[in-house]
Structure 1
Amino acid sequence: MSKSPVKPARPATATSSETSRPTVRHAVIQLLRDFNMTTIFGNPGSTELPLFLDFPPDFRYQLGLQEAVVVGMADGYAQATRNAAFINLHSAAGVGNAMGAIFTAYKNGTPLVITAGQQARAILPYDPFLSSANAAELPKPYVKYSIEPARAEDVPQALARAYYMAMQQPCGPVLVSIPADDWARPCSYVEPRMVSTAIAPEPKVLEHMGAALDACQRPAFVVGSGVDRDSAWDSVLQLAERHNARVWTAPMCSRAGFPGDHRLFAGYLPAEREKIVALLGGHDLILVLGAPAFTYHVEGTGPHIPEGASLFQMVDDANIAAWTPNGTSLICSTDLGVQALLNRPAPPARPLPEARRQPARAEPSSPMSVAYLLQTLDEVRARDSIIVEEAPSARPVMHRYMPIYLSETFYTMASGGLGYGMAATIGVALGKPGRRIISLIGDGSSLYTFQALWNAVQLKLPITFIIVKNGRYAALEEFAPTFGFEPGSQLEGCSLPGIDFVALAKGMGCKAVHVDDAAALHDALRTGLQSDGPVLLEIDVA
């Protein structure tokens, strides 16, 4: 997430109103300033109120109407700003409500510093109302670090450690449980430190990888979320052009890693072993950058890579490297590793691989197809507009009809758990002020955190929410044949009739329009993309 050591914004010194022995609250507020975390995402409860006594004027509080919204907003904000986001949750109940979103942040590799309230230490032996039993255990295993400090005066140091761990590659969420009476206890300021967050490549393994890449005849790159997270987009593009490598996107990525309209771009790998092997067939070297090799959604059989191919992986997560079944893994920062490969002498020239076949143009129909919707959206939107997506059934179509052109313009969830998109859109908009944000959300997905729309209205954010309305959990119906269902079978619990998203949006004060005519789509999208504040388009699709 961060390419350079953490640099404090300013030294941690007491203000004139503070003594040489500050309270935990004073020390924590100063530490958050030093780490540039002056935005607090939360949904307050009684055990958290002491933090907000004399709330500092240089901080802002972003209220979420449910804890999943809180964490989702913070996830988008942290990715957009490339710094950990600070979250304040309400004891065990708040952490429990947030766990799905914390799981997604963990899979997304998003640095989050989560604090959770706890009852006062003095009454914890009596199992008081709103206490959290085993508070540090509750969020595991989907946090990198969790603790309830043994003493109140240890809270600032615990938060400093949590921040450094959240920012170290691979990035991820951490949690500190803080009893309510700790905030007023005396302690000492914690001086921020420079802590390296990037992992340099091991020279011996890098040389082996570089020599194999130079000697191969038909290389293929598989790029993952780690490319964009580590600001390696431009260097990966340069490396692919140097080797004339065909470039695929890894399965289930939360970020894009290569321009979708580039001559070398080959498309998106599915999360199925046999299909991955078939698509990568004919290549004698596969270089996986910033991704697992590979993420599967269904069980498979046979080899993990094509016969005659060798696999090399560059990833910042030692756990991923450990379970990768084939080849050589280099654990390092993606950007540092790719830059090191670029520093090698130029390899022999190779011919360009066969270009990706472009899909047939989608035509208007009634009801309109998802392909026509996304094709039209791609024609209308600016290339640098930012897409936040959570429309699982539309994603394969999006891969064909709506390329991602630039770095840091695409965000989705890597977890498979719904509820990320609506909330993360708010966080990305806060982290990229002034940019046009397009929230592309399935009707089923939107209902997990639809109340995030209230934040967009209150903040007057330039967001165009597009609800892809097919009236069902279409992704489940499309996946059902994998488990023996007949194609087109009606599944129990997958129908979503009778929901009026325009009415829901207007109830929160958001402008909203219903579109069910392909002839009206272009103008509706163009108008929606020019709005000063948020607008929701409910679009009926087949």
Structure 2
Amino acid sequence: MLGDAATTTVRDATLSFMRSVGMTTIFGNPGSTELPMFRNFPGDFRYVLGLQESVVLGMADGFAQATRNAGFVNLHSAAGVGHALGNLFTAYKNQTPLVITAGQQARSILPYEPFLFADRPTEFPQPYVKWACEPVRAEDVPAAIARAYHVAMQPPCGPTFVSIPVDDWDRPCDPLPVRRVAAANPGDPEAMAEIAQALAAASSPAIVVGAGVSRDNAWDALVALAERHAAAVWVAPLSARCGFPEDHALFAGFLKASREAIVAALAGHDVVLVIGGPLSLYHVEGFGPHAPPDATVFQIIDDPAQAAWAPEGLAVIANARLATQALLAGPAPQRPRTAPPRLVRPALPPAGFTDAHLLARIAALRPAGSIIVEEAASSRGAMHDHLPIVAQDTFYTCASGGLGHGLPAAIGVALARRSGKVIAVLGDGAAMYAIQGLWSAAQLGLAVSFVIVRNRRYQALVEFSRHFQLHSPMATDLPGLDFCALAQAQGVSAVRVEAYDGLDAALSASFESIGPTLVEVCVD
């Protein structure tokens, strides 16, 4: 029970606020300047330790996405923030709400550039935080944490940052009043009416779904909208979430991150509705139009910046679920439509032991409701072909293209979703960026199956080098790694699979385990 202003400390007021918004799990790797935060640490809070700060931030990212509430991160001054920056970039691209704190040296010695202090701390994580602050007074820390939380949770969600001097936590301050901030935006009524009318009048509409459909919990409404208009449904380029069942008759496939490929895929559609986009996310240089010349493009997105640079059509800033529900209230199709042809998935390779064979067996053996967290870029195409995502909130990947997010994110998702099986599909190169995360999974006893696609190289880089006519790219081979030994050294049971006939038994045992396991699969 907190007392009056004379007995309430900065620590008391901050923890009380965090408790009021359900932010009682702290992910961190603390240093000397963070320790006073944990004096008399309350029993209803938990601290999740990661052995490197990028792992810490990745775990918090997965946890926040799975809970739809901001994750709280505790880092060490400049060095710890620096270690975490790669996954901070990913969290920013994922639009993940995070409150990131870092210690600072005591205020009285800051003029003398003390050991382990942060110089210009609020500038260091820029531009990949929405807001950053080092409070001018110790008693302003609780209000800064509260503001950081509310800014992180405002669409488009994202990370925020607060630097806190080590001597602030024990200072007296006023209790922080609890308040609420609500955000709801169904979109401009006139613009939404225009989109609804265009859908009703279309002869061959298409819908492109981005990660915002999952973030805004619009899955069911989107399925209803697609069925109402017999619209082909594509996944936006490089989408980090799944917004539509990939076994549905209207599912059309995945758009590539190429201008010409997008135009070719959407050819023949007179109305293209993009929800939770963006549509024009490219990975290679392209030329010509951004959409089929005969198509009218509408985009419903929650990020004003994306709306500003969208090169085609009408962009509406709105919540995906509320906007989709508004479109469902619009007029019905004006003419009968023929359903688009059903997607035909490619057959498995007839010989060999490839990632396609692995992903097909994961699809066949995975427990109902299991969650896929993926960071295996060279296997993404095979996953699209052979491991369909068919249920809401069962797929997570990295929106930034960086490495080191998938393994810790799987741990964070599993911590938030304790009742289900999490399957982390990881490339061998990607896994090495955050292999220390296995220790946290073992300590927490989480039911994560880490499946390593062991192709002994940075295969995605090898494949992309062909775009530049490079036939022998440098520094892409990864010989000599032993993932089973790495896992076992950190308390995770592991098995290696070198032939197809041993795959089912290894996967089944891993999926049935109540604790973390690792399956290293050596593919061709």
Deviation, structure 1 residue 207: 1.0
1:271 corresponds in structure 2 to: 257
State how far apart, in whole Å, the 1-side matches of 2:333 and 2:261 are: 30
C-alpha contact 2:6 2:172 (8 A) present in aligned 1: no
CA distance in 1, matches of 2:184, 2:55: 30
Deviations 1:11-63 (A, max 9, x none): xxx436x7654110110010110010111100010000110011111110000
2:519 aligned counterpart, secondary structure? strand
Shift of 1:364: 5.2
Q: 1:394 aligns with which of 364, 379, 395?
A: 379
Aligned to 1:271, the other structure's residue is in SS state coil
Tell whether 2:62 aligns with 1:76.
Answer: yes
Counterparts of 2:348 and 2:161, CA distance in 1: 48
Aligned-pair distance for 1:350? Answer: 1.5
Of 461, 465, 477 in structure 1, the residue corresponding to residue 446 of structure 2 is 461
Partner amino acid, structure 1, of 2:444 = L
Deviation at 1:382?
A: 2.4
The residue type paired with residue 510 of structure 2 is: G
Which of 385, 390, 393 does residue 408 from structure 1 map onto?
A: 393
Matches within 5 A, 1:198-217: 198-217=184-203
Equivalences for residues 86-97 of structure 1 within 5 A: 86-97=72-83
Q: How far, CA to CA, are the matches of 1:291 and 1:193 in structure 2?
A: 32
Equivalent of 1:381, from 339, 348, 366? 366
Change (3 A) 1:188 1:170: same
What is the aligned residue count? Answer: 523
Which amino acid in structure 1 is aligned with residue 54 of structure 2? Answer: A
- 1:429-458 CA distance string (max 9 Å, x none): 000012101010000000000010001111
**Do the aligned residues in 2 keep the contact of 1:223 with 1:248 (CA within 8 Å)?**
yes
The answer to whether the 8 Å contact 2:196/2:331 transfers is no
Which residue is 1:133 aligned to? 119
Shift of 1:190: 1.4
Matched, 1:470 2:455: yes
> Are 1:384 and 1:405, in contact at CA under 8 Å, matched by a contact in 2?
no
- The answer to whether the 8 Å contact 1:152/1:182 transfers is yes
What is the one-letter code of the residue matched to 1:472?
Answer: R
Residue 121 of structure 2 aligns to which amino acid in structure 1?
Answer: A
Q: Distance in 1 between matches of 2:243 and 2:423?
A: 19
Q: Which residue does 1:510 correspond to in 2?
A: 492
Deviation of 1:192 (Å): 2.1
Q: Which residue of 2 aligns with 1:539?
A: 521
Preserved CA contact (<8 Å) 1:72 1:424: yes
Q: Of the candidates 147, 171, 174, which is equivalent to residue 160 of structure 2?
A: 174
Q: Which amino acid aligns with 1:502?
A: C
2:507 and 2:253 mapped to 1: Cα distance? 26
Q: Partners of 2:304 and 2:79 in 1: how far apart?
A: 33
Shift of residue 209, structure 1, vs aligned partner: 1.1
Identity of aligned residues (%): 54
Runs of 4+ in 1 over 6 A off after TM superposition: none
Farther-moved stretch of structure 1 (144-153 vs 189-198): 189-198
Q: Answer yes or no: is the 8 Å Cα contact 1:383–1:406 preserved in 2.
A: no
Q: Give the match for residue 9 of structure 1.
A: none
In structure 2, C-alpha distance between the alignment counterparts of 1:512 and 1:70, rounded to whole Å: 23
CA-CA distance at 1:363 after TM superposition: 4.1
Q: What is the DSSP-based 3-state SS (H/G/I as helix, E as strand, rest coil) of the residue aligned with 2:96? A: coil
For structure 1, the 5+ residue unaligned runs are 1-13
Distance in structure 2 (CA, Å) of the matches to 1:422 and 1:375: 21
1:357: how far off? 1.6
Q: Is residue 2:131 matched to residue 1:149?
A: no
- Correspondence for 1:519 among 494, 498, 501: 501
For 1:104 and 1:350, how far apart are their aligned partners in 2?
A: 41
Q: Deviations over 1:141-176 (max 9, x none)?
A: 000000111111111111111111100000000001
Q: Distance in 1 between matches of 2:405 and 2:186?
A: 32
How far has the Cα of 1:307 moved from its partner? 1.7
Aligned partners of 1:321, 1:37: CA distance in 2, in Å?
31
Equivalent residue number for residue 417 of structure 1: 402
Mapped to 1, the partners of 2:59 and 2:319 lie a distance apart of 26
2:119 aligned partner, one-letter code: A
**What amino acid does structure 1 have at the position aligned with 2:501?**
A
d(CA) in 1 for partners of 2:185, 2:132 = 23
| Corresponding residue SS for 1:138 | coil
Question: Which of 433, 437, 452 is equivalent to 2:422?
Answer: 437
Partner of 1:118: 104
Letter in 1 for 2:396: Y
